[in-house]
Structure 1
Amino acid sequence: MPVTPARGRQLSLFGVEARAPAPIDLEGLLAGAGQVGRMGGTGRVSIVVEERWRCAVLRAELEGRGLVVSCEPTGEEDRWQLRTAYSAALAPLALRWLDADGIKIAPRGLTLDGRALRLWVAAAGGYDGQRAFLLRLAPRPLAPPPEGDEEAEPVAPAAEAVEWADLSVPVPAPAPPRPPRPERPNVRKRKSESKITAFDPGPDEFADAEDYFGDDAADEWPDSGVGALPTVVLDAVSEPPPPPPPPPAEDFEEEVLDRRVADNWIAVGDALEAAGLPAILVGAETGAPAYRIVGPRRITRLAELVGEPPADAPTGAWPA
């Protein structure tokens, strides 16, 4: 059933009204986060979407192209897995998008018309503010779960921890703690008495030296001059600062983007520009890559290509 254009909106030669729906339109899903598989002479396309209405809209779009589609929740927040059955109608798409190793590769000369862009917008489109529209290339990464306090494991008693002990030998119970000794008030502690009652130092060997060192003539000896030496103050020894701690191990692990993924993004960006929708690649470093279409004129151009929004699309999820 052809889509009736809105009053006052100009029809585009590359819009949804230009031709009938076809399985090749699923290239719009593969331009984003969609995946394609191949088995014999058949192919299959799957994609994860973040809202239930997107799954319902895509299911209706794909069933209108003669495909068998399933849509099931993934169990992660509000995410849904949409998957087609293997079909011979999707074999050319799988042959076009897979290399010899079965890796998804954007084909040369990729073009995105209104039919393909409509599926991409239905799968992962949405406004980013009032003057920008996002076409996501991958689902947004899930937030990590909050870290809970881990309970410490109970420590087994000593008698139970030793599993190899002979059970026939009773394990002695630990001795009870010794009670503190009570202090008696107003009682003086007796001083320890020495067992040595007398001490005889013996004969004084320096008894005769008292006359010499006690003589006044001893003061006439010349001074050695040690006291007249200047005082030398040594600088404090400064220890070198400790070396900086090594960076954590995770700093050395740098995530390297697969060159084939980057080439796919570049090919998709070129296809958007060829459709009159030059866009900016954003969010690649955070794991949420998307093409950002900025400006009312370009968003209006996108709206003309993809046609009227589905009835289930909420406000802000479809270009206008």
Structure 2
Amino acid sequence: MSQLSFFSAEAVPPAVADLTGLLAAPGQVVLVGAGKEQGARLSVVVDELWRAEALAEMISDVGLDPQIARTDENHPLVRTGVEPQLVAIAADWTRGAVKTVPPQWLPGPRELRAWALASGTLEPAGYLLGLDPHAPDTHSPLASAMMRIGIAPTLIGTRGSRPALRISGRRRLTRLVETVGEPPADAAALTQWPRVL
């Protein structure tokens, strides 16, 4: 039995800001409405249903209603409803219609967990946190944010491939594993969850 880290996602109470981890991944946020009726919706397309189900649970944990659907290409899609609580996140993470990273954003344990659930992949050389291929200007700021929390990644991929932050090395992987917490119960998650190699 592993010991729960003080910095683990399980040790931190849920908050709406946890969902910004979806925006570090290929997630999107859109504003809907105006004035007092304005809200925002967060969504992310994932490659497997277990990811959508685990993210739906995180959305529910922060007090919002999750929705799971399928894209036209039959990929799982998880999203929130249109919520006033997400307007500030939308304002922080967009400039016009372009996704951006807020200058002071740091991924806490639950944000990192959301990111790993949305686009994390285990590989022989370490662990990849997937980035948004349609928002290349977010890649370097996200790498810098990871460095500021003591998990220095390597930026890999370009616009033509699948961009990601690679975390490698025993110390960095251990820190990541302790931070994101236990994998979801789904057996498929075990093959893609971070572990020290």
- CA distance in 1: counterparts of 2:149 and 2:186, whole angstroms: 26
Which structure's CA Rg is the greater one? 1
Query: What corresponds to 1:85 in structure 2?
Result: 81
CA 1:86–1:9 in 2, change beyond 3 Å: closer, same or farther? closer
Residue 145 of structure 2: SS of its match in structure 1? Answer: helix
Query: What corresponds to 2:6 in structure 1?
Result: 11
Please list every run of 5 or more consecutive structure 1 residues that lacks an aligned counterpart in the other structure.
Answer: 1-5, 140-257
Residue 78 of structure 2: SS of its match in structure 1? Answer: strand
For 2:167, give the aligned amino acid.
I
Is 1:64 aligned to 2:61, yes or no? yes
CA 1:23–1:289 in 2, change beyond 3 Å: closer, same or farther? same
What per-residue deviation string (whole Å, max 9, x for no partner) do you get for residues 20-61 of structure 1?
Answer: 111111111101101001122311101110001111111111
Is 1:119 aligned to 2:114, yes or no? yes
TM-score w.r.t. length of structure 1:
0.56
Query: What corresponds to 1:133 in structure 2?
Result: 127
Provide the aligned C-alpha RMSD in A: 1.9
For 1:32, give the aligned amino acid.
A
For 2:80, give the aligned amino acid.
T
Query: What corresponds to 1:22 in structure 2?
Result: 15
Contact 2:29 2:43 (8 Å CA) reproduced: yes
- List aligned pairs for 1:1-320, cutoff 5 A: 6-8=1-3, 10-12=5-7, 15-39=8-32, 40=34, 41-76=38-73, 79-99=75-95, 101-129=96-124, 131-138=125-132, 261-314=135-188, 315-320=190-195
Contact 1:110 1:267 (8 Å CA) reproduced: no
The CA deviation at 1:17 is 4.3
Residue 286 of structure 1: SS of its match in structure 2? Answer: coil
TM-score w.r.t. length of structure 2:
0.88
CA 1:271–1:121 in 2, change beyond 3 Å: closer, same or farther? same
Contact 1:42 1:88 (8 Å CA) reproduced: yes
- CA distance in 2: counterparts of 1:17 and 1:294, whole angstroms: 23
Q: How many residues align?
A: 190
The CA deviation at 1:73 is 1.7
Residue 269 of structure 1: SS of its match in structure 2? Answer: helix
Structure number having the greater strand percentage: 2
The CA deviation at 1:262 is 3.3
What per-residue deviation string (whole Å, max 9, x for no partner) do you get for residues 226-265 of structure 1?
Answer: xxxxxxxxxxxxxxxxxxxxxxxxxxxxxxxx8xx33311
Query: What corresponds to 1:206 in structure 2?
Result: none
State the 4+ residue runs in structure 1 displaced beyond 6 angstroms.
none
Contact 1:43 1:87 (8 Å CA) reproduced: yes
CA 1:288–1:64 in 2, change beyond 3 Å: closer, same or farther? same
- CA distance in 2: counterparts of 1:8 and 1:67, whole angstroms: 30
Percent identity between the aligned chains? 36
What per-residue deviation string (whole Å, max 9, x for no partner) do you get for residues 157-210 of structure 1?
Answer: xxxxxxxxxxxxxxxxxxxxxxxxxxxxxxxxxxxxxxxxxxxxxxxxxxxxxx
- CA distance in 1: counterparts of 2:137 and 2:83, whole angstroms: 28
What per-residue deviation string (whole Å, max 9, x for no partner) do you get for residues 59-81 of structure 1?
Answer: 1111111112211122426x211
- CA distance in 2: counterparts of 1:317 and 1:63, whole angstroms: 23
CA 1:8–1:134 in 2, change beyond 3 Å: closer, same or farther? same
The CA deviation at 1:7 is 2.8
